[in-house]
Amino acid sequence: MANYWEIGKENLRHNLLIHAGIALLLLCFSPLVLGVKNLGLSETAKVLEIYVALIGIVLITPVFLPEQNRDLRDLIHSKYTKVASIYSIRVIESILVLMLFLGIYLWFLHRNGCEMDAAMYFAGTLAEMLFLGGLGIISYSLTDNLVAGYMIPIFYYITAIGGGKKFLKSFYPFSMSQGSYSEKYWLLAAGIVLIILGIRIRSRK
Amino acid sequence: MFAQLILKECRQTAKSIIYWLIVLILVIFFSSQLGNMDIAKKPKPGLESYGRYYSSNEQDIMKATLGYLVSEYTNGKYVTYPIGFYKMVTPDKEEQKRIGEIISETTGLDTKEEMEKALNAETEDSDAEASDKKKNHIIVLGGAPIAPSKTLTYDRFGELMREVDHLLGGGSQYNKKHLKTNAATPKTYEQALQEYEDLMEKDHLTGGYARLYSDYMGIMLGILPVFLAVTRGMRDRRSQMRELIASRRASSASVIVSRYISMLIMLMLPVLLISCIPLMECIQYAASGFHLDYLAFVKYSFGWLLPTIMIATAVGMVLTELTDTALGVLVQLAWWFLAIFSSMSSMSGGMYGLDLVPRHNTEYNYAGFHAGFTQLAANRVLYAVISVLLIAVTVWIYSLKRKGRLDIRGKLLGNRKRKSQA
C-alpha cells in the first residue's frame, strides 16, 4: 500500500502537476472568452460540454508519458510492482483531479447565477471527460504515440461540432445542452471500457 | 543535396502512422460533410422560400441594427458572442447611459417609452403588410427594424456602433464584421436565379464547389498538420538520433526547411487527391459543351488551403523545437478553437478578415467572394509570411541546439528532477 501511495506521489510531482496546471489555466481563461454569468440551463450545459470537458484529454491521455522511453519501460516491467497498477493509480489520480476541477467550476458557475441541475451536469460532463480521455488512452496505447493520443479525441470532438449527432448517435457528446442525458450513459460506459482496454494493451507492450 | 533531403523526409513522413491517421481523418471528414454532394439545380419560380441573404443596402443594415439595439437597450441586457459562445452582458449605469445617448443620436428616440412604442409600431406595421411585401421584410433578431434619423450618415453610424461594441466588450452584433449580417432578408426568385447563373457562368460550376471544399477541408487543416509537425519534431529525440543528425554536414536551414517542405508536399497530396471526387461529380453533372474550370480545385487548394497548412505546421515545428514537448498541439488547438467559433457568424462567405480558417460554407455567393477577394488574398499572404518567419525562427533555434547553446529540456528541466523513491 505504501508503495502505491509513493507511486501516486511521484506521479503527482513529475507527471500530473504540469497537466493539471494546463487544465487549470484553460479553466481560468474561460471567463475571458465565454459567458459564465446568468446562463440558462442549455447555455450552462454548452459551456461544460464544449469547453470544460476538453480538460479530460489534457489530464487522462498522458498517463503513459513517463515511460515514453522504451528502455525505461523495460526497466519498469522488470520490477515487482505490476505496471498495470501503476497506470491505474495514475488514471485514478487524473480522474480525481478532473472531479475536483469540475466541482469547483460548477460551484463558480452557480455563484455567478447560472442555472443548472448540478448532479446531472457534474455526472454528464465527467462522463464526456472520461470518454475523451479514454479515446486518448486507447489511441496512445495502440500507436505508442502521445500525439496520436491527442489527435483521435480531438477528431471526435471536431466531428461532433460539425453536426455530428447524425453520425455519432448515442455517442454524441453535446446532448446535455439539448436536454438529453441518455447519451451520457453510453459515453461513461465506453469511456471506462476504453481506459481499461488502453491500460491492458499498454501493460503488455 | 537539398532535393535528396526533401525526398528522404517525404519517405519518413510516409512511414509515419500519424500521417496516415491524418489522411484517414481527411477522407472520413470529406465523406461525412461532402460525400453526398448535391449539385445545384436551377431554381423554379413560385416556390415559397429561396432562403435568405444578408442585405448590403446601408439603409437596411442601419434599420435592422438599430431595431436590435433598441430592443436590447430596453431589456438592459446585451447578447454577445466573443468566440461564438453566448455571453450575456449587463452594462453599468454609465455605459447604459452612453448607449441611450447613441440611440438618441441615431434614431431620434429619447425615452424608453418612445423606444417601446417604435418597436411595437414597427411590429404592428409589419404584421399588417401584405404577404408579398412581407417577403422583402428585414428580419431582426428579437425586435423590429427602426428607421435611422434622416441626418445620420453610414460612416457616423458605423463609428457609433463600434463604440457600442467596445462598451459591451466586443463580439456583439454591433461590431464591424457583424453589422453586415444584421439585415437578413428573404431571397426573391430573381436573386436565387442570379446566384445560380453566377455559379454556372462566372464560377464555371467548379469554382463554387472548390470554395465549398476549401471551407470544409480548411476546418481540419487548421489543426491536423500540427500533429504531424510535433511528431516529426519529437522523433529525433525519441529515436536518439539528434546528436547523429547534428554532426552531419547539412546546414540547419537545409534540415529544417527540407522537413517543412516535405510535410507541406505530403499534406497537400491527399488534399489534391480527395478534390478529384467533387471535380468528377461536377464533370458528370455538366452538360457537354459547358465550360468547366478543371483547375479550380487545384487553384483553391493552393491559394486557400496551403497557407492554413503552412501556419499550422510552422506553429508545431517552432514550439516542438523550442520546448521538445507537444506544447504545439495545445497552442494550435487553442488558436483553432478560437478561430472556428469566432468565424461562425461569417460562414456565408465574403467576410474573411484575419480568420485562420476563412469560411465560405456555400457553393453560391460569388458576389461576396468577389467583393472580399482582396481581403482573402491579404489574409492568405499574411499567414504564409508568418509561417516563413516561424520557420526562420525554427532554423535559428535548431542551429543553437546543434551548437549546444540551447537545450531547455536537458539543462533547465533536467536539473530540477530528483530521484524517485517508488
Q: What are the tens digits of pLDDT across the range B145-157?
A: 888 998 999 999 9
In this predicted structure, the answer to whether residue A155 has a pLDDT above a threshold of 60 is yes
The DSSP 8-state label assigned to residue B24 in this structure reads H
Q: What is the pLDDT of residue B130?
A: 43
Q: Give the distance from residue B394's alpha carbon to the nearest chain A alpha carbon, in angstroms.
A: 20
Instruction: Determine, for residues A145 and B32 on separate chains, whether the beta-carbon distance falls below 8 Å.
Output: no
Report whether B95 contacts B76 (CB < 8 A). no
Q: What is the pLDDT of residue A93?
A: 96
Describe the crossing of helices A118-143 and A146-161 by its angle, rounded to 10 degrees. Answer: 130
Q: What is the pLDDT of residue A87?
A: 94
Instruction: Determine, for residues A158 and B338 on separate chains, whether the beta-carbon distance falls below 8 Å.
Output: no
Please give the torsion angle defined by the CA atoms of residues A68, A70, A72 and A76, in that order, rounded to the nearest 10 degrees: 100
pLDDT by residue (tens digit) across A85-124? 999 999 999 999 999 999 999 999 999 888 999 999 999 9
Q: How many CA atoms lie less than 13 Å away from B163 in the CB half-sphere?
A: 16
Backbone phi, then psi, for A126, in 5-degree steps? Answer: -65, -40
Count of domains forming chain A:
1
Nearest to B113 by CA among B66, B74, B80, B64: B74
Domain locations in chain B as residue ranges? 2-41+194-410, 52-186
CB atoms within 10 A of CB B302: 14
pLDDT by residue (tens digit) across A63-91? 998 887 777 778 887 777 888 999 999 99
Is A192 touching B (CB cutoff 8 A)? no
Mean pLDDT along residues B338-356: 86
A contacts of B327 (beta carbons < 8 Å): none
Mean pLDDT for chain B? 86
C-alpha grid cell for residue B174? Answer: 454591433
Report whether A146 contacts A67 (CB < 8 A). no
Instruction: Determine, for residues B422 and A10 on separate chains, whether the beta-carbon distance falls below 8 Å.
Output: yes
In this predicted structure, the answer to whether residue B133 has a pLDDT above a threshold of 60 is no
Report whether B84 contacts B342 (CB < 8 A). yes
Instruction: Determine, for residues B88 and A38 on separate chains, whether the beta-carbon distance falls below 8 Å.
Output: yes
CB atoms within 10 A of CB B373: 12
Describe the crossing of helices A146-161 and B327-342 by its angle, rounded to 10 degrees. Answer: 10
In this predicted structure, the answer to whether residue A53 has a pLDDT above a threshold of 70 is yes
Residues 6+ apart with CB under 8 A from B335: B315, B356
B17 → closest Cβ in A3, A34, A143: A143
B32 → closest Cβ in A35, A69, A167: A167
C-alpha grid cell for residue B310? Answer: 503552412
Rounded Cα distance between A187 and B239, Å, is: 36
In this predicted structure, the answer to whether residue B18 has a pLDDT above a threshold of 90 is yes
Instruction: Determine, for residues A47 and B85 on separate chains, whether the beta-carbon distance falls below 8 Å.
Output: yes
In this predicted structure, the answer to whether residue A181 has a pLDDT above a threshold of 90 is yes
Rounded Cα distance between B137 and B141, Å, is: 13
A contacts of B330 (beta carbons < 8 Å): 22, 58
Report whether B174 contacts B69 (CB < 8 A). yes
Instruction: Determine, for residues A46 and B85 on separate chains, whether the beta-carbon distance falls below 8 Å.
Output: yes
Rounded Cα distance between B85 and A33, Å, is: 8
Instruction: Determine, for residues A35 and B17 on separate chains, whether the beta-carbon distance falls below 8 Å.
Output: no
**Residue type at B22 in one-letter notation:** I
The distance of Cα A184 from the centroid of its chain, to the nearest Å, equals 14
Residues 6+ apart with CB under 8 A from B384: B306, B307, B310, B311
Instruction: Determine, for residues A148 and B33 on separate chains, whether the beta-carbon distance falls below 8 Å.
Output: no
**Total residue count of chain A as it appears in this document:** 205
A151 → closest Cβ in B21, B80, B421: B21
Percent of chain B with pLDDT over 70: 89
Q: What is the largest CA-CA distance in chain B?
A: 83
Can you give the residue range of the structural domain that contains A46? Answer: 2-204
* ipTM of the shown complex: 0.84
Mean pLDDT along residues B166-194: 86
Q: What is the pLDDT of residue B142?
A: 55
Instruction: Determine, for residues A43 and B83 on separate chains, whether the beta-carbon distance falls below 8 Å.
Output: no
Rounded Cα distance between A145 and B20, Å, is: 13
- Between A and B, how many residue pairs show a Cβ–Cβ distance under 8 A? 84
Rounded Cα distance between A105 and B118, Å, is: 42
Mean pLDDT along residues B241-250: 75
Rounded Cα distance between B306 and B358, Å, is: 12
The distance of Cα B206 from the centroid of its chain, to the nearest Å, equals 21
pTM as predicted? 0.83
Report whether A138 contacts A194 (CB < 8 A). yes
C-alpha grid cell for residue B183? Answer: 439585415
A contacts of B343 (beta carbons < 8 Å): none
Q: What is the pLDDT of residue B289?
A: 67
A127 vs B51, residue with greater confidence: A127
Rounded Cα distance between A189 and A199, Å, is: 16
Nearest to A51 by CA among A63, A70, A72, A36: A36
Q: What is the pLDDT of residue A187?
A: 97
pLDDT bin (cut points 50, 70, 90) of residue B132 is very low
C-alpha grid cell for residue A158? Answer: 471536431
Rounded Cα distance between B147 and B66, Å, is: 8
Nearest to A59 by CA among A30, A106, A96: A96
Mean pLDDT for chain A? 91
Lowest-confidence segment of A37-46, A133-142, B381-390, B402-411 by average pLDDT = B402-411
B420 vs B121, residue with greater confidence: B121
B87 → closest Cβ in A14, A35, A152: A35
A150 → closest Cβ in B220, B326, B340: B326
In this predicted structure, the answer to whether residue B410 has a pLDDT above a threshold of 60 is no
Percent of chain B with pLDDT over 90: 49
In this predicted structure, the answer to whether residue A184 has a pLDDT above a threshold of 80 is yes
